[in-house]
Amino acid sequence: MSETIRVGLGDRSYDIHVGEGLLAQAGALLAPFARGAVPVVTDSHVAKLHLDPLIASLTRAGIKTVPIVLSPGEGTKSFAGLERLTTELLRANVDRGGLIVALGGGVIGDLAGFAAGVLKRGVDFAQIPTTLLSQVDSSVGGKTAINVPEGKNLIGMFHQPRVVIADIATLKTLPKRELLAGYAEVAKYGALGDAKFFDWLAVNGAKALAGDAAALAHIVAHSCQMKADIVARDERETGERALLNLGHTFGHALEATTGFSDRLLHGEGVAIGTVLAMQLSVKLGLSPAADAARFAKHLKDAGLPASIADIPGPRPGAEALIAAMAHDKKVKDGKLTFVLVKGLGHAFTSRDVPLDAVRAVLSS
Ligand code: NAD
Ligand code: GLY
């Protein structure tokens, strides 16, 4: 059983297929887009677990493949990683009409998507996300990028995939901590625009996290539908798409002040960041305190960190966090831009949040 969600972007529209066991059908799903030998870009963790079934499926569909296996980890999303990958893609003779397949988490999807965007001025690519975070967020919407010492995702482009294939069976091999990190982005969708979905998560989220296929398929499909709708209305983030960044201003600052290290995964930063954004909304008199408390409790019950105190090691201080945010976003007249909520499920952007309110939330 699988479900298909359409991202409506005119002649760049594409389908997201969500279901269990879709790797076995990937050959048939990719056949309409495949021309010549198809490079399959992945990392060594994912290669061990999921590359062979994908290659077998493509071979059954008559598609020749060229596996390209990179090192796992954020460090691969770099100029060095891009140089290595584009060199291998050129050696594989990918031409302008070719297709590149990204099999892996957000690191592989972001890097391979960017490489596809710049290779020979633009080649098609397909996303086969294998982490919960990449299935519900990074594989959809066409943001591709690499990191530089000046910051994360600063060199990149919008390049939409031709198709996304999310096989939720691949999540069975995902470490629990990574699964939870992806779940933070799922809960974020409820907080930003769908209180009913959050109610559903409150009842069924634990089942999904325990591996229930139907529950997982529902959270992936529903999250993708929400993102697809937003991206179709605002592909280039001139407005509404910014709401997808709920919790990210705080989250990025927490990641930066903990050194982008194993102390805090991106999704864990988003979990704490979304709680902080909701608490800031309460402080500004915009949102009921009960909603922020309910959201935080749900994350905590799921096993996610939900407050700054939950981060192992020394607590990042309010001033260091504010400095990291100011680096991220321009402070104007002592005010910062934030995504806030008017209650669970109702996010909006505010350009004039007083720094003192932010400081108070970070210190509490
Ligand atoms: P990741 O790609 O680093 O994957 C996390 C770890 O899980 C890696 O070690 C990987 O090898 C391993 N892994 C992947 N799939 C597995 C599986 N099925 N079984 C076992 N292990 C598996 O991390 P991520 O959380 O998927 O992605 C994070 C990246 O995504 C960041 O670079 C972030 O900037 C980016 N991102 C991009 C967007 C976007 O819109 N483009 C959105 C959110 C995040
Ligand atoms: N992950 C946020 C976005 O795609 O806009």
Q: What is the CATH number of the domain that holds 39?
A: 3.40.50.1970
pLDDT greater than 70 at residue 297: yes
Distance CA 311, CA 329 (A): 23
pLDDT value at residue 328? 61
For residue 14, list its beta bridge partners.
7
Q: Per-residue pLDDT tens for 21-69? A: 999 999 999 999 999 999 999 999 999 999 999 999 999 999 999 999 9
Which residue out of 71, 114, 133 has the highest number of ligand 1 atoms within 8 Å of its CB and is therefore the one to mutate?
Answer: 133
Q: Per-residue pLDDT tens for 66-105? A: 999 999 999 999 999 999 999 999 999 998 999 999 999 9
**Which of residues 173, 197, 223 is at a domain's end?**
173
Same domain, 167 and 207: no
Q: Is any ligand 1 atom within 6 A of the Cβ of residue 349?
A: no
Å from CA of 42 to ligand 1 middle: 11
Same domain, 264 and 219: yes
> Does residue 352 sit in helix, strand or coil?
strand
pLDDT value at residue 332? 64
Tell which atom from ligand 2 comes closest to the C-alpha of 185: 1
pLDDT value at residue 296? 98
**Which of residues 173, 207, 234 is at a domain's end?**
173
Same domain, 185 and 169: no
Q: Which residue in the block uniquely carries the two structure tokens 């005119």?
A: 10
Q: Per-residue pLDDT tens for 302-335? A: 999 999 999 999 999 999 999 998 876 556 666 7
Token digits for 282?
Answer: 């309460």
Q: Amino acid identity of 173?
A: T
Same domain, 162 and 217: no
Going by C-alpha positions, the residue among 163, 145, 142 that lies closest to residue 107 is 145
Q: What is the CATH number of the domain that holds 220?
A: 1.20.1090.10
pLDDT value at residue 336? 81
> Which value, in Å, is the radius of gyration of the alpha carbons in the chain?
20
* Overall number of domains in the chain: 2
Distance CA 67, CA 48 (A): 12
Token digits for 100?
Answer: 């590149």
Are the beta carbons of 146 and 156 closer than 8 angstroms? yes
Same domain, 72 and 92: yes
Å from CA of 60 to ligand 1 middle: 28
Q: Model pTM greater than 0.95? A: yes
Burial of 295 (0-12, 13-18, 19+ CB in 10 A): buried
pLDDT value at residue 149? 87
Same domain, 63 and 136: yes
Find the mean pLDDT for residues 240-252: 95
Give whole-number Cα distances, 326 to 124, 250, 252, in Å. Answer: 37, 11, 11
Å from CA of 13 to ligand 1 middle: 24
**Which of residues 125, 145, 173 is at a domain's end?**
173
Same domain, 184 and 290: yes
Active site residues: 121, 143, 185, 227, 237, 241, 245, 248, 252, 266
Same domain, 134 and 80: yes
Same domain, 253 and 237: yes
Q: Would you place residue 337 in the very low, low, confident or very high pLDDT band (cuts 50, 70, 90)?
A: confident
Same domain, 63 and 30: yes
Tell which atom from ligand 2 comes closest to the C-alpha of 141: 4
Nearest Cα residue to atom 2 of ligand 2 = 244
Question: What's the domain range around 218?
Answer: 176-363
Ligand at minimal distance from the CA of 54 is 1
Distance CA 267, CA 108 (A): 16
- Dihedral through CA 4, CA 240, CA 109, CA 83, nearest 10? 150
Ligand at minimal distance from the CA of 152 is 1
pLDDT value at residue 326? 80
Phi and psi for 353 in degrees, rounded to 5?
A: -85, 125
Q: Per-residue pLDDT tens for 113-145? A: 999 999 999 999 999 999 999 999 999 999 999
Q: Per-residue pLDDT tens for 253-287? A: 999 999 989 999 999 999 999 999 999 999 999 99
Nearest Cα residue to atom 3 of ligand 2 = 244
Same domain, 267 and 137: no
Same domain, 19 and 160: yes
